[in-house]
C-alpha cells in the first residue's frame, strides 16, 4: 500500500491539526507530496514544517472550504506545486455542540457550509485535476455521528455528516467514468485538541462506552484514508469505513457492561 502512494500529489483540507494532521502525516510518511490546507496559513505551514523535518514533502496553503474561488485557488496551487492532484482528502469540518432549542439558523448555516457545502466545493474544484490523474481518489471524512448514531447538541453536525455520504453515493457514480473513486472514513471518538475541549468528563464517558476502551488516534484515521487512496483499493468506490474501536456495535449498554 505504501509503495503506491509514493510521489502522489495529495490535498488534505483541515490538514493543519486534528484528524487532518494525522491523515497528512500518514500520506507524507508513505512518500506522498502533501498540500496542507486550512484558513490559518501559519498553522498549515507549521504542520508542513514538521513533516518536512521528518523527511517528507509537504507545504501549507491558506484556503476556506466555504468559498468556491478559494477552493479553485487551492486546486491550482496544488497542481502547480506538485504536478497535478491524485488524491483529495475532504476533511475540514467543525462541530460546535448546541442543542436545537438554542441552535441559531446562523450556526446551522455555518456548520452546513463548512462540512457539507465545503465537501462539494473542494471536490468540484479538484475534478479537472483528478481526471488528469487517471486514477484520482477522493476520501471524505464523515463521522459515526449522524449516519449511524445521534448525540444531543449535534443535529446540525449529524445532518452534514450523513449528507456527506449521500453526496458520496451519487458522486462516485458520476466520477467513475474518469476512474475516480469516492469513499468515506467514519471516525468514532478520536483524540484531538477539539475533542479535549469538550471536557474530561466527555472523554472519560466516551472511553467507557468503547469496547476497545480507548479513543482512536488521528493516525489511525489516516491509515484508513491511505488505504482508500492506495492502488490496492482501486476497485472500491462509494463505500464507508467505520473506525471507532467497536463503539457502534454493542446492541445496548447492558451488552457492553456484561462483556
Ligand atoms: P479540528 O481539530 O478542529 O480541525 C479542523 C481543521 O479544519 C483545522 O485544520 C481547521 O483549520 C480546518 N478548517 C475548519 N474550517 C475550515 C474552513 N472553513 N476552511 C478550511 N479549513 C477549515 O477538527 P477534527 O476533530 O480534526 O475534525 C476533522 C474532521 O473529522 C471533521 O470533518 C470532523 O467532522 C471529523 N470527525 C472528527 C471526530 C473527532 O473525534 N475529532 C470524529 C468524527 C469525525 P483552520 O481553523 O485554520 O481553518
Closest CA to 184 of 128, 244, 249, 237: 237
Query: Three cell numbers at 103?
Result: 441552535
pLDDT reading at 251 higher than 70: yes
Residues 123-146, mean pLDDT to the nearest whole number: 98
Structural domain contains residue 206: no
Q: What's the pLDDT score for residue 1?
A: 66
Q: What is the CA radius of gyration of the chain?
A: 18
Query: Which residues line ligand 1 at a C-beta cut-off of 6 Å?
Result: 13-14, 16-20, 38-40, 43, 64-66, 91-95, 114, 118, 141, 143, 187, 189-190, 192-195
The answer to whether residue 73 sits within a structural domain is yes
Q: How many CA atoms lie within 13 A of 112 on its CB side?
A: 11
CATH label of the domain that carries residue 40: 3.40.50.720
Q: Is residue 210 part of a domain?
A: no
Helix (H, G, I), strand (E, B) or coil at 216: strand
On whether the CB atoms of residues 68 and 119 are closer than 8 A, the answer is no
Ligand 1: which of 24, 93, 242 to mutate, most ligand atoms within 8 Å of CB? Answer: 93
Domain of residue 173: give its range. Answer: 2-194+217-246
Query: Residue 65: what pLDDT?
Result: 98
Interval 239-248: pLDDT, tens: 999 999 999 9
Instruction: Please determine, for residue 156, whether its predicted confidence score (pLDDT) is greater than 90.
Output: yes
Best substitution site from 37, 60, 92 to test ligand 1's pocket, by max atoms within 8 Å of Cβ? 92
3 state SS of 131: helix
For residue range 48-96, what is the model confidence (pLDDT) as tens digits?
999 999 999 999 999 999 999 999 999 999 999 999 999 999 999 999 9
Whether residue 194 is predicted with pLDDT greater than 90 in this model: the reply is: no
Q: How many Cβ atoms from other residues are within 10 Å of residue 148's Cβ?
A: 19
For CA atoms 126, 129, 134, 137, the dihedral sign is negative
| Position 258 in a domain | no
Q: Which of 107, 114, 91, 103 is nearest to 24 (CA)?
A: 91
pTM of the predicted model as reported, rounded to 2 decimal places: 0.98
Stretch 230-247: mean pLDDT: 98
* Domain annotation covers residue 163: yes
> Across the chain, what does the average pLDDT equal?
97
Cell, residue 201: 468528563
| Residues 39-57 pLDDT 10s | 999 999 999 999 999 999 9
Q: Is residue 120 part of a domain?
A: yes
Number of domains in the chain: 1
Amino acid at each position: 500500500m505504501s509503495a503506491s502512494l509514493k510521489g502522489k500529489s495529495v490535498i488534505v483540507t483541515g490538514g493543519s491539526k486534528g484528524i487532518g494532521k494525522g491523515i497528512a502525516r500518514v500520506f507524507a510518511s508513505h512518500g506522498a507530496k502533501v498540500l496542507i490546507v486550512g484558513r490559518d496559513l501559519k498553522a498549515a505551514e507549521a504542520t508542513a514544517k514538521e513533516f518536512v523535518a521528518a523527511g517528507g514533502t509537504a507545504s501549507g496553503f491558506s484556503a476556506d472550504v466555504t468559498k468556491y474561488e478559494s477552493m479553485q485557488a487551492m486546486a491550482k496551487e496544488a497542481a502547480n506545486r506538485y504536478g497535478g492532484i491524485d488524491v483529495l482528502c475532504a476533511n475540514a469540518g467543525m462541530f460546535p455542540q448546541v442543542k436545537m432549542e438554542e441552535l441559531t439558523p446562523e450556526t446551522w448555516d455555518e456548520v452546513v457550509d463548512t462540512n457539507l457545502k465545503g465537501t462539494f466545493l473542494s471536490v468540484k474544484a479538484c475534478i479537472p485535476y483528478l481526471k488528469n490523474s487517471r486514477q484520482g481518489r477522493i476520501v471524505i471524512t464523515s463521522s459515526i455521528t449522524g449516519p449511524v448514531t445521534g448525540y444531543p447538541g449535534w443535529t446540525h453536525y449529524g445532518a452534514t455528516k450523513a449528507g456527506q455520504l449521500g453526496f458520496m453515493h451519487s458522486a462516485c457514480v458520476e466520477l467513475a467514468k474518469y476512474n475516480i473513486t469516492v469513499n468515506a472514513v467514519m471516525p468514532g471518538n478520536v483524540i484531538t485538541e477539539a475533542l479535549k475541549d469538550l471536557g474530561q468528563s466527555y472523554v472519560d464517558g466516551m472511553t467507557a462506552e468503547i469496547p476497545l476502551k480507548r479513543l482512536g488516534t488521528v493516525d489511525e484515521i489516516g491509515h484508513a484514508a491511505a488505504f482508500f487512496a492506495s492502488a490496492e483499493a482501486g476497485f472500491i468506490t462509494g463505500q464507508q469505513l467505520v473506525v471507532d474501536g467497536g463503539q457502534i456495535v454493542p446492541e445496548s449498554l447492558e451488552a457492553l457492561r456484561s462483556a
